[in-house]
């Protein structure tokens, strides 16, 4: 199961959703500022951490060997 966090829209009945994925070695923590600059009261944001630890952050798949298992977990 992926670690996720939903940041709700200012407009409570909004069904708009942006899924925010980080890059290699980063985490959802690096994108908590993002909703503030978007200034869109209709957008919900789903922040997602990749499944594999990678030097203090996370990775979506193995970049050196076989990426398939990581892609499937993601």
pLDDT score of 34:
92
Q: What's the average pLDDT block by block, 10 residues per block, for the chain (74 residues)?
A: 93 96 94 94 97 91 88 85
Per-residue pLDDT reduced to its tens digit, 8-27:
999 999 999 999 999 999 99
**Long-range residue pairs from 54-63, CB within 8 A, at least 24 positions apart, any chain:** 54/24, 54/25, 55/25, 56/25, 57/22, 57/24, 57/25, 57/26, 57/27, 58/22, 58/25, 58/26, 58/27, 59/24, 59/25, 60/21, 60/24, 63/24
- Three-point CA angle 42, 50, 56, nearest 5°: 115
Please tell me the predicted confidence (pLDDT) of residue 72. Answer: 87
pTM above 0.95, yes or no: no
Per-residue model confidence (pLDDT) at position 33 = 94
């Amino acid at each position: 199961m992926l670690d996720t966090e939903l940041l709700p829209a200012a407009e409570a009945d909004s069904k708009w959703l942006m899924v925010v994925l980080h890059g290699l070695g980063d985490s959802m923590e690096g994108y908590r500022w993002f909703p503030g600059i978007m200034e869109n009261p209709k957008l919900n944001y789903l922040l997602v951490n990749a499944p594999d630890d990678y030097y203090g952050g996370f990775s979506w798949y193995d970049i050196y060997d076989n990426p398939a298992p990581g892609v499937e977990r993601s």
